[in-house]
Amino acid sequence: GVDCGADSRMCCRQEFFVDFKEIGWEDWIIQPEGYHMNYCAGLCPLHMAGIPGLAASFHTAVLNRIKAASAAAAVDSCCVPTQRRPLSLLYYDRDSNIVKTDIPDMIVDSCGCT
Amino acid sequence: AATGERCPACGVAALAPGAQRDALLALAKRSILAKLRLPARPSVPQLPSRGARLTALRTVRAQRSDAAAAIPGMLRDGRVPPRSGPGLQEYEILSFAEPGSSTSHRARLHFRFSQEVAGSTEILQATLYLFWAARGRGAQPVTVRLLQPDPAGPNTTVLASETRLEVPRPGWSTLDVGAAVRSLFGHETPRLTVELEVPEDWGSPLPSDRGDSRWPFVVARAQARTPHRVHRR
C-alpha cells in the first residue's frame, strides 16, 4: 500500500494519530499513549481496481492502460483497508479494575482498490 | 468548505482542516468506546495503589510466560490461543479487593466486575491471589469462603464454596475461583465476596494498609461470547 502525501489523489493510507492526553483520556487508559486511527482515501478508477495500493508491475500497468481505454472506465471502485491489526488497550474500568484487551482490526496498515 | 475543495472520491465538499480533525477525534472516541462496550469513558473513582498494581501486573506477566511454557502452539506475544473460536476478543481483568466487614481473625473482601465486561464475555479462568505474612511455626490452617449475591435479597450473600488452605510458609498462595466468577457473570451485580478466617492468635489476615503491594487481587481471563447466530433452512 501507499501512504498519502500532501497532494495525493489516488487511493492511499492517510495517517491520523489520536493522542489520548489531547482528548483527556490519559487518566483511564494506561497503555498505549494514543491510537493510530489511519484511514483510506483517494480515487480508484476502474483500471486501478483490484491491485493492493499503487505499486503495480509493468505488466499490470499495461493491462491497466487497456482497461482504462475500455468504455466501462467511468465506473470507480473503492479505496479500502487491505491490511489491519488489533489495538491493544490496558485501561481502568469504572470499578478501578485493570482490563487488558486486544480490539481486532482497529489499525489500518495499508489500503488498496476493491 | 471555505476552500471550495471537494473530496476526490465522493465529491462531498471537504471539511475545513480544524473541523475535520475534530470530527476524526470524535469518531476515534466513539469507535473505542463502542468496541469496549462502554456507554461513556469510565470515571475512575479510586486507583489501586502503585505497589498493588505493579505486583499484579508482574503476576499476570509471569502467569502468561508459565502458560507459554505449558501450552504448545503459544502465540508469539504470550497470549494463550482461545480454546474455542479463534479471533474472538479476549480480556484479562485485574480486580483489586475492596475491604468489607472484619473482626480480629476474620475479614471480608469484595471484588467487583463491570457490567459491560460481565454482560458480554464468558470467563475462561480466574485465580485469587492471597499473601500470608510470617506467623507462628509450621503450616497454618486458613479457611477461604466464596460468597455470592443472594438473589433473594439485596446485600445478602450465599455461600458458594469453602476451602481450607494449609499455609506452609509466608508468601503468595492462589485459589482457583473460576467457577464462582463464571456463575457471577450472569448476575445483575457481578460481585465476588471472599471471607478469610485464620486461627485466633494470628491477628488480621490482611495487610494493614490497602496501599500495600501484597494486597489481595483476582486475575481473570475472559473471552467475548460467540455472537448468537440463528441458522434458518
Choose from A37-46, A51-60, A63-72, B27-36 the range with maximum mean pLDDT: B27-36
Helix or strand run (H / E) with residue B219: strand B217-224
Side chain identity at A110, as an amino acid letter?
A: S
Residues of chain B with pLDDT under 70: 1-4, 7-10, 66-87, 134-138, 227-233
C-alpha cell at A51: 491491485
* Cβ contact B90–A94 (<8 Å): no
Q: Is A109 on the interface with B (CB under 8 A)?
A: no
Q: Is residue A74 scored above 80 in pLDDT?
A: no
The reported pLDDT for the residue numbered B152 is 76
Q: Is A52 on the interface with B (CB under 8 A)?
A: no
Query: What is the 3-state secondary structure of B123-186?
Result: EEEEEEEEEECCCCCCCEEEEEEEEEECCCCCCCEEEEEEEEEEECCCEEEEEECHHHHHHHCC
The CA R_g of chain B, rounded to the nearest whole Å, is 23
> Tens digit of pLDDT for each residue in B84-108?
345 678 899 999 999 988 888 889 9
* Cβ contact B8–A43 (<8 Å): yes
Whether the CA torsion B63, B68, B74, B75 is positive or negative: it is: positive
- The residue with greater pLDDT, A52 or B102, is B102
CA B229 to chain centre: 28
* Cβ contact A95–B114 (<8 Å): yes
Q: Which of B47, B87, B116 sits opposite A96 (nearest CB)?
A: B47
Q: Is B181 on the interface with A (CB under 8 A)?
A: no
* Cβ contact B36–A23 (<8 Å): no
The reported pLDDT for the residue numbered B58 is 86
Residues of chain B found within 8 Å of residue A99, distances taken between Cβ atoms: 91-94, 114, 117
ipTM of the complex: 0.80
**Using an 8 Å Cβ cutoff, are B120 and B38 in contact?**
no
Whether the CA torsion B182, B187, B191, B192 is positive or negative: it is: negative
